[in-house]
Chains A and B, each alone.
Chain A
Amino acid sequence: MTVPDELHYTREHEWVAIDRATASVGITDHAQGALGDVVYVSAPAAGSKVTAGEPCGEVESTKSVSDIYSPVDGEVAEVNPEIEDNPGLVNTDPYGAGWLFKVTLPQPDGALPAGLLSAAEYEELISDKA
């Protein structure tokens, strides 16, 4: 299970990459491994508001369905257009082509929401659970 250093993480197994005023969001390698084959992603619609720590979508796999929790506050700028037809990208490339949506942050380079984990903290979280 990979946990890239440059990303931040939620306790609910999302990752977030922040570049100026844009946050890209996906689910972690650990999460996709636990879910199994992803068959459908219901991401928040472009233009909708998301709130850090609140559910904003769902990931359906063969065995279960899980909520997606937004790691940040903001407005959804874009949903990964590939995910609709190819949800398996979440399994094969969770940190790359399997990204879920992008959020425009209220202010660029603002403080990170409280509660996000560093890579080291997230690795500790999943090693406790594994």
Chain B
Amino acid sequence: MTDPQLRRTPLTAVHERLGASLTGFAGWLMPLRYGSETAEHNAVRTAAGLFDLSHMGELAVTGPDAGAALDYALVGQPSALAPGRARYTMICAPDGGILDDLIVYRLSGEEFLVVANASNTAVVFDALEERISLNAKVADQTGDYALIALQGPNAAGILAPVTDADLAAVKYYASYPATVAGRPILLARTGYTGEDGFELFTRPQDAEPIWDALTAAGAGHGLVPAGLSARDTLRLEAGMPLYGNELGPDLTPFDAGLGRVVKLDKPGDFVGREALARRAEAAPRRELVGLAGRSRRVPRHGYEVLWDGTASGQVTSGAPSPTLGKPIAMAYVEPRVARAARQEQADGEQNRLAVDVRGSAEAADLVPLPFYRRPA
């Protein structure tokens, strides 16, 4: 049936009982969808969705010098985080290429949790081990955690009755030790959908009771389980980059329009500093832009962007947008093309921007990122 080499999460049996379509993803057997991925996507935008993200890598960095060690290993400055706060950051190679994008949680003075993409957990672990030589150590704790995300406008209303945490006090990009259904969790107000929501780091044996408690609490609130397929269209609408698509070893954070994560002004050296400092000064080689298709044919990862019929860039992610009702894509294009396309649109001229969709040039419009922003 499925590849027995694939790693199961503490919730795989739950997904099987729910009749999910399961798929291999970065070595894990994960739910792709439970029914209609469009319905799951829409539920997250209008009500709430429940995701199993236990494939994500959890790397604990601990010790008296953990903060300083991470300042050297990553492009951000985790030592400046207050305990209980979290930050989006990246780990780069010496040449500035992105090895992974990460969320770093500071759990206490000497304890950090680095959350990596499943496909990069081993790479990040190896890099951290190599780079952390001070009075600190790194441990791969991926198997010690299940990770459940509850995302959507109804997330707080669903979670409130089953947790001891005061959700009004849980700020965006903050984490707190709490309980759900009487079981200990690390509760974080983070996500990858463009909606308000929470991520719950649980012990593996608590994952199923917590999933069940949330499912029960969400019954009157439109909560549905949601798979990786909906997660991908949600993050794309929210303009969030995905490693392997918008981010990769041949790109720097500056290429991705995320130069702000590189803290060139932090004290001390860090891996990639020299290359990234040069890159920060240089004119951009390409620009990450949003595209909206005019036809119903969908620009997809790897398709060429055309300007006046000439290849001028490449689509990194594309999908039919359930919220906007048309195809959307992110793409790297030559900066002169982005400028010219903006000028053309400002002038209301004929559109010379298109995507080569399997041999036919499908007209596209340049649109600002993100494609979707949740109502304030």
* A37 adjacent to B298 (CB under 8 Å): no
- Residue A65 lies at the interface, judged by CB distance under 8 Å to chain B: yes
The segment out of B30-38, B71-79, B263-271, B278-286 that lies at the interface is B30-38
- Select B320's contact among A33, A42, A60, A130, beta carbons within 8 Å: A60
Per-residue CB contact flags for chain B residues 287-301 toward chain A (1 = under 8 Å, else 0) read 000000000111010
* A62 adjacent to B320 (CB under 8 Å): yes
- Select A37's contact among B37, B296, B300, B358, beta carbons within 8 Å: B37
Would A62 and B297 be within 8 Å (CB), given that A33-B21, A130-B1 are in contact?
no
Greatest chain B CB density within 10 A among A33, A40, A62 is at A62
Q: Chain B's nearest CB lies how many Å from the CB of A93?
A: 14
- Residue A36 lies at the interface, judged by CB distance under 8 Å to chain B: yes
- Select B36's contact among A37, A42, A60, beta carbons within 8 Å: A37
Which residue of chain B has its CB nearest to the CB of A60? B298
- Residue B142 lies at the interface, judged by CB distance under 8 Å to chain A: no
List which A9-62 residues lie within 8 A (CB) of chain B. 33, 36-37, 39-40, 42, 58, 60, 62
Greatest chain A CB density within 10 A among B1, B36, B300, B320 is at B320
Taking CB atoms, residues of chain B closer than 8 Å to A37 are 36-38
- A36 CA to B20 CA, complexed, in Å: 12
Q: Chain B's nearest CB lies how many Å from the CB of A121?
A: 20
Which residue of chain A has its CB nearest to the CB of B319? A62
- Residue A91 lies at the interface, judged by CB distance under 8 Å to chain B: yes
Which residue of chain B has its CB nearest to the CB of A36? B37
Q: Chain A's nearest CB lies how many Å from the CB of B358?
A: 7
Would A40 and B298 be within 8 Å (CB), given that A63-B229, A65-B358 are in contact?
yes
Taking CB atoms, residues of chain B closer than 8 Å to A42 are 297
Which residue of chain A has its CB nearest to the CB of B1? A130
* B21 adjacent to A62 (CB under 8 Å): no
Taking CB atoms, residues of chain A closer than 8 Å to B62 are none
- Residue B54 lies at the interface, judged by CB distance under 8 Å to chain A: no
- A63 CA to B319 CA, complexed, in Å: 7
List which B288-335 residues lie within 8 A (CB) of chain A. 296-298, 300, 319-320
Interface class of chain B by DSSP: mixed
Taking CB atoms, residues of chain B closer than 8 Å to A60 are 296-298, 320
Would A39 and B298 be within 8 Å (CB), given that A33-B21, A62-B233, A62-B320 are in contact?
yes
Q: Chain B's nearest CB lies how many Å from the CB of A128?
A: 11
Taking CB atoms, residues of chain B closer than 8 Å to A40 are 296-298, 320
Q: Chain B's nearest CB lies how many Å from the CB of A58?
A: 8
Q: Chain A's nearest CB lies how many Å from the CB of B320?
A: 4
- A60 CA to B296 CA, complexed, in Å: 9
- Select B37's contact among A58, A62, A65, A130, beta carbons within 8 Å: A62
Which residue of chain A has its CB nearest to the CB of B320? A39
Taking CB atoms, residues of chain A closer than 8 Å to B229 are 36, 62-63
Taking CB atoms, residues of chain B closer than 8 Å to A65 are 298, 300, 358
Taking CB atoms, residues of chain B closer than 8 Å to A62 are 37-38, 229, 233, 319-320
* A39 adjacent to B37 (CB under 8 Å): no
Per-residue CB contact flags for chain B residues 36-59 toward chain A (1 = under 8 Å, else 0) read 111000000000000000000000
> Which positions in B face A, CB cutoff 8 Å?
1, 21, 32-33, 36-38, 229, 232-233, 296-298, 300, 319-320, 358
Pairs A–B under 8 Å by Cβ, sample size 25: A33-B21, A36-B21, A36-B32, A36-B36, A36-B229, A37-B36, A37-B37, A39-B296, A39-B298, A40-B296, A40-B297, A40-B320, A42-B297, A58-B358, A60-B297, A60-B320, A62-B233, A62-B319, A62-B320, A63-B37, A63-B229, A63-B232, A63-B319, A65-B300, A65-B358
Name the 8 nearest CB pairs between A and B, nearest first. Answer: A39-B320, A40-B296, A37-B38, A62-B37, A36-B37, A60-B298, A37-B36, A37-B37
